[in-house]
Chain A
Amino acid sequence: MENILSQYQSVPDTKVAIWFKVGQIADFPENSGACIKYKTKQIAVFNFTRTGKWYASQNLCPHKMEMVLSLGMIGDKEGVPKVACPLHKKNFSLENGSNLSGDDLKIAVYPVKIENENVYIGFED
Chain B
Amino acid sequence: MRKIIVVGNGMVGYKFCEKFINQDESKKFEITVFGEEPRPAYDRVHLSEFFENQDAKALEMAPAEWYKDNGINLIVDERVSEIDRNNKTITTAKDRGFSYDYLVLATGSSAFVPPIKGVEKEGVFVYRTIEDLEGMLAYASKIKTINPNAKAAVLGGGLLGLEAGKAVMDMGLEPHIIEFASKLMPRQLDSRSSQVLQLKLESIGLNIHLSKATNQILGNGVITGMEFGEDDILDVDMLVISAGIRPRDELGKTSGLEMGVRGGIVVDNKMKTSDDSIFAIGEVALYNQMIYGLVAPGYDMAGIAVDQILGEENLMADQIDMSTKLKLIGVDVASFGEPFMPASKGHSVIFENKTQHLYKRINVSLDGKKLLGGILIGDASDYNMLHQVFLNEMAIPEDAAQLILPASDGGSSFGSVLDLPDTAQVCSCESLTKGTICGSITEEGCNNLSEVIAQTKATTGCGGCKPMVVDLVNETLKSLGKEVKETVCEHFNYNRQELYDLVKINKVPNYNEALNLFGNGQGCEICKPVFASIFATITMETANRQPGIQDTNDRFLANIQRNGTYSVVPRVPGGEITPQQLIVLGEVAKKYDLYTKITGGQRIDLFGAQVHELPLIWKDLIDAGFESGHAYGKSLRTVKSCVGSTWCRYGMHESVTFAIEIEKRYRGLRSPHKFKGGVSGCIRECAEARGKDFGLIAVEGGWNLYVCGNGGATPKHAVLFAEQLDDKTVVKYLDRFLMYYIRTAGPLIRTAPWLDKLEGGIDYLRQVIIEDSIGIAEDLENEMKGLINKYECEWKQAIESPEIMKRFKHFVNSDDTDDTIEFVPMRDQKMPKAW
B-contacting residues of A (Cβ < 8 Å)?
4, 12-16, 22-23, 27-32, 34-37, 42, 45, 48, 50-51, 64-68, 71-79, 81-82, 84, 86-87, 89, 91, 93, 95-96, 98, 100, 102-104
Given contacts A13-B172, A45-B812, contact A50 B548 (CB under 8 A): no
Query: A72: which B residues are within 8 A, CB to CB?
Result: 525, 552
Flag if A14 contacts B174 (CB, 8 Å).
yes
Q: 12 A-B contacts, Cβ less than 8 Å apart?
A: A14-B148, A15-B148, A23-B812, A37-B814, A68-B552, A71-B564, A73-B524, A73-B529, A86-B551, A87-B562, A96-B330, A98-B330
Residues B818 and A65 in contact, CB atoms below 8 Å apart: no
- Pick the contact of A87 from B330, B357, B560 — CB < 8 Å? B560
Whether B246 is near chain A, meaning CB under 8 Å from some CB there, is no
Q: Indicate if B807 sits at the interface (CB-CB under 8 A).
A: yes
Determine which of B330, B512, B812 lies in contact with A22 in the assembled complex, contact meaning CB atoms within 8 Å.
B812
- Complex CA–CA separation, A84 to B549 (angstroms): 12
Q: B149 in the interface, Cβ–Cβ < 8 Å?
A: yes
Q: How far is the CA of A24 from the CA of B81 in the complex (A)?
A: 58
Query: Is B186 an interface position by the 8 A CB rule?
Result: no
Interface bin, chain B:
35 or more
Q: With a 10 A CB-CB cut-off, give which of B52, B522, B529, B560 has the most chain A CB atoms.
A: B522
A41 to B13, CA, bound (A): 55
Chain A residues within 8 Å of B330, by CB:
93, 96, 98, 100
Residues 344-370 (chain B) with a chain A CB within 8 angstroms: 356-357
A73 and B204 within 8 A (CB): no
- B residues engaging A (CB < 8 A)? 52, 144, 148-150, 170, 172-174, 204, 329-330, 356-357, 379, 490-491, 512, 515, 521-525, 527-529, 547-549, 551-553, 555-556, 560, 562-564, 807, 810-814, 816, 818, 820-821, 835
Instruction: Give Cα A91–Cα B522 distance, bound, in whole angstroms.
Output: 14
Known interface pairs A14-B173, A50-B515, A87-B562; A75-B149 also in contact (CB < 8 Å): no
Query: With A and B bound together, what is the CA distance between A37 and B524 in angstroms?
Result: 26
Q: Is the CB of B149 within 8 A of A35?
A: no
Chain A residues, CB < 8 A from B835: 64-65
Residues of A within 8 A of B52 (CB): 79
A residues less than 8 Å from B524 (CB atoms): 73, 75-77, 82, 84
A46 to B551, CA, bound (A): 16
Complex Cα distance A67/B270, Å? 64
Residues of the B chain whose Cβ atoms lie less than 8 Å from the Cβ of A22: 812-813
- B813 and A48 within 8 A (CB): no
B173 vs chain A, min Cβ distance (A): 7
Set of chain B residues within 8 Å of A78, measured between Cβ atoms: 490
Find A98's partner among B204, B548, B549, B821 (CB 8 Å cutoff).
Answer: B204
With the chains together, A73 CA to B547 CA distance in Å? Answer: 10
Chain A's nearest CB lies how many Å from the CB of B590? 26
Q: How far is the CB of B614 from chain A (nearest CB, A)?
A: 13
Which residues in A have their C-beta under 8 angstroms from that of B490? 77-78
A31, A51, A68, A87: most-surrounded residue (chain B CB, <10 A): A31
Residue of A nearest to B463 (CB): A78
Q: Contact between B521 and A79 (Cβ–Cβ < 8 Å)? A: yes
Do A76 and B812 contact each other (CB < 8 Å), given the known contacts A68-B560, A87-B560?
Answer: no
Whole-angstrom CA separation of A42 from B817 in the bound complex: 11
* Residue of A with least CB distance to B512: A50
Which of A4, A28, A77 counts the most chain B CB atoms within 10 A?
A77
From A13, A68, A75, A95, contact of B522 by CB (8 A): A75
* Nearest chain B CB to A123 CB, angstrom units: 13
Residue of A nearest to B330 (CB): A98
Q: Report how far A68 CA is from B820 CA in the complex, Å.
A: 11
B204 contact set on A, CB distance < 8 A? 96, 98
Flag if A32 contacts B547 (CB, 8 Å).
Answer: yes
Chain A residues with CB under 8 A of B807 = 29
B131 to chain A, nearest CB (A): 24
Considering the complex, give the chain A residue whose CB is closest to the CB of B810.
A35
B813 pairs with A37, CB closer than 8 A: yes
Are B564 and A68 in touch, CB under 8 angstroms? yes
Contact yes or no, A36 B548, CB < 8 A:
no
Cα–Cα distance between A51 and B520 once the two chains are bound (Å): 12
- Among B149, B357, B564, B820, point to the contact of A4 (Cβ < 8 A): B820
Establish whether residues B150 and A14, one from each chain, have CB atoms under 8 Å apart when the complex forms: yes
Chain A residue at minimal CB-CB distance from B151: A14
Minimum CB–CB distance from B143 to chain A (whole Å) comes to 10
Q: Which of B174, B525, B552, B812 sits near A75, CB closer than 8 Å?
A: B525
* Among candidates B356, B525, B812, B813, residue contacting A89 with C-beta atoms closer than 8 Å: B525
* Nearest residue, chain A, Cβ from B551: A73
Q: A74–B149 contact, CB under 8 A? A: no
For residue A91, which residues in chain B have a CB less than 8 angstroms away from its CB?
A: 525
* A30 CB contacts on chain B under 8 angstroms: 548
B548 contacts A29, CB within 8 Å? yes
